[in-house]
Chain A
Amino acid sequence: MPRILYEKIVCEAIKETSKKLFGRVPKITKTGETKSPIAVESFNVILGIVGDITGQIIFNFKGESPRKIVSKLLNREIFDEEELQISGIAEFANILSGNAITELFEETQGKIDITPPSIIMGNHVVLSTVIHDISEFVLEYEEIGEIVMYIAIKEKEEKN
């Protein structure tokens, strides 16, 4: 299956999940192709992809978006509660990946799975992936802000 179809499935899963969680669908725009390494801001989630395709989906949460997402999920305003933001964003990523798995499972007869999220925080963070060709998408959420999504996937090479 072409990479673009996997990307489309992931984007559709994100839209559906967002609609259920926030009542709104984000505007998702593919902003282009980039190469590893990627320089990102502080709050990032990495999901590993395993199966017929392998690689990573990386979410880079811009500005206040982690706090706003967790506030929406908890239905109350949170401020400097970092631990709560970490666990909330991990849960958000779990829900997104869970729905993406379901969609990918149906399309591939269960030959793709997604690892639990790793959350990376820090300054001047640079991520290097083994797969050098990376698709970049911007997810624009009303009242939340922007999340940049990087998809670095390739079809698994068969071992002889």
Chain B
Amino acid sequence: MNVEYINPFTQATFDVLTMFGTFDPKLGKPFVKDDALISVGVVVVVGIIGEVKGQVAYSFSEETAKMIASTMMMGMPVDTFDEMAKSAVSELSNMISGNASTAIAAKGFVIDIAPPTLITGENMRLATNVKKSLVVPVSTTAGNIDIWVSLE
């Protein structure tokens, strides 16, 4: 997978999370996975189209999702992961993907993103027809976020 498509996502993740001032994001060492994403509770999928195609998926636990939603909603307590909280978490994923796609477009590539889909469930897996994904683990004060970049 071309690093020119990956670095904008790691950079955008760091920049957007840092912007909120409370997440203190720390990027872990990226690694390659050649099987399905196994969810730990919540996955947000953003489809990518253009010269690069595929998906970016953001995976985290429900507890982490609730803490992210609370931060996104100016510290409002989030006890249940309801539609408002889901909307906030989707918006964060959209912001990261949007910033990354803008950076990729600035390098001269044609790229656009679809709106996010947030998915919850038990024993949930996400598969794509891209054979290998690059996973970027991010630790934050809200918990761990795994970013799966599956582009070709």
What's the least CB distance linking A25 to chain B, in Å? 26
Q: What are the residues of chain B within 8 A of A54 when measuring CB–CB?
A: 114-115
Main secondary structure of the interface of A (DSSP, over half): strand
Does chain B have a CB within 8 A of A56?
A: yes
User: A47 to B53, alpha carbons, bound, how many Å?
Assistant: 12
A28 within 8 A of B: no
Whether the pair B55, A115 counts as a contact (CB closer than 8 A) is yes
Whether the Cβ atoms of A116 and B115 lie closer than 8 Å is no
* B121 in contact with A115 (CB, 8 Å): no
Chain A residues near B130 (CB, 8 Å)?
116
B85 to chain A, nearest CB (A): 10
In the complex, A99→B36 CA distance in Å?
Answer: 26
Q: Is B86 an interface residue (CB 8 A)?
A: yes
Which of A49, A115, A127, A130 lies in contact with B87, CB distance below 8 A? A130
Q: Does B138 contact A (CB under 8 A)?
A: no
Q: Is the CB of B119 within 8 A of A115?
A: no
Known: A37-B83, A123-B121, A124-B121. A129 touches B115 (CB 8 A): yes
- Rounded to whole angstroms, the CA-CA distance of A17 and B23 in the bound complex is 47
B125 within 8 A of A: yes
Digitize A123-157: 1 where CB-to-B-CB distance is under 8 Å, 0 elsewhere. Answer: 11111111100000000000000000000000000
| Candidate in B45, B47, B54, B90 with the most chain A CB atoms within 10 angstroms | B47
The answer to whether B122 and A46 have CB atoms under 8 Å apart is no
Q: Mark B65-99, 1 if CB is under 8 A from A, else 0.
A: 00000000000000000010011001000100000
Smallest Cβ distance from A90 to chain B, in angstroms? Answer: 4
B12 an interface residue at 8 Å Cβ cutoff?
no
Closest residue of chain B to A125 (Cβ to Cβ) is: B121
Cβ contact within 8 Å between A120 and B115: no
Number of A-B contacts (CB under 8 A): 117
Chain A contacts for B117, CB-based, 8 A: 46, 48, 56, 58, 118, 127-129
Query: Distance in Å from the Cβ of A59 to the closest Cβ of chain B?
Result: 13
Q: List 30 A-B contacts (CB under 8 A).
A: A46-B45, A47-B47, A48-B114, A48-B117, A50-B113, A55-B115, A56-B115, A56-B117, A58-B117, A90-B127, A114-B49, A115-B55, A115-B114, A116-B55, A116-B130, A118-B57, A118-B128, A120-B43, A120-B121, A120-B125, A123-B121, A124-B122, A126-B119, A126-B121, A127-B117, A127-B118, A128-B117, A129-B115, A129-B118, A130-B116
Interface positions of A (Cβ within 8 A of B) = 36-37, 46-51, 54-56, 58, 86-87, 90-91, 94, 113-131
**What would 8 more interface pairs be, CB under 8 Å, given A37-B83, A46-B47, A117-B129?**
A54-B115, A115-B53, A118-B117, A119-B126, A122-B39, A127-B117, A128-B87, A128-B120
